[in-house]
Copies of this chain bind each other. A is one copy, B any other.
């Protein structure tokens, strides 16, 4: 396995991308109706994986339209919030989780950036997405993902690559 992804659907979501520091408030990104993509890469993952990942994730029919049908991110179209979530690579050992199979920080950061860039490009080049003005937002790799979500059912799915 090279990557593990959890998907949740939201009505809105807000994610901290920079914590508060002395004299400056925390910074957040926000999306309206859309899909949260929590991503974790494992050791051995390479950039070759990215096209398959973003194509699958943007085309799988998990977003609910106004008639209750399930359509893809590109077809709804839905906003996208991509959240780095290395904890998803954990393996239960006794009472603790171990992360031995997780990718190293620098490689993970690079793959995450590539994945985000490809999702952005795919949405930007899709006429329906461009017309409606849906956005791709993302968290800061390696930071605490302070997150609020409001859902009409998270409709949580796991997809591994």
Contacts and interface: CB of A to CB of B under 8 A. Distances in A.
A104 to B, nearest CB: 20
A23 interface: no
B92 A56 contact: yes
Interface string A22-55: 0000000000000000100000000000000000
The complex is assembled from copies of this chain, and their number is 2
Interface stretch (A111-119, A123-131, A145-153): A145-153
Nearest to A150: B148
Interface in A58-95: 59-62, 70, 72, 83, 85, 87-88, 90, 92, 95
Interface of A: 4, 6, 38, 56, 59-62, 70, 72, 83, 85, 87-88, 90, 92, 95-97, 144-159
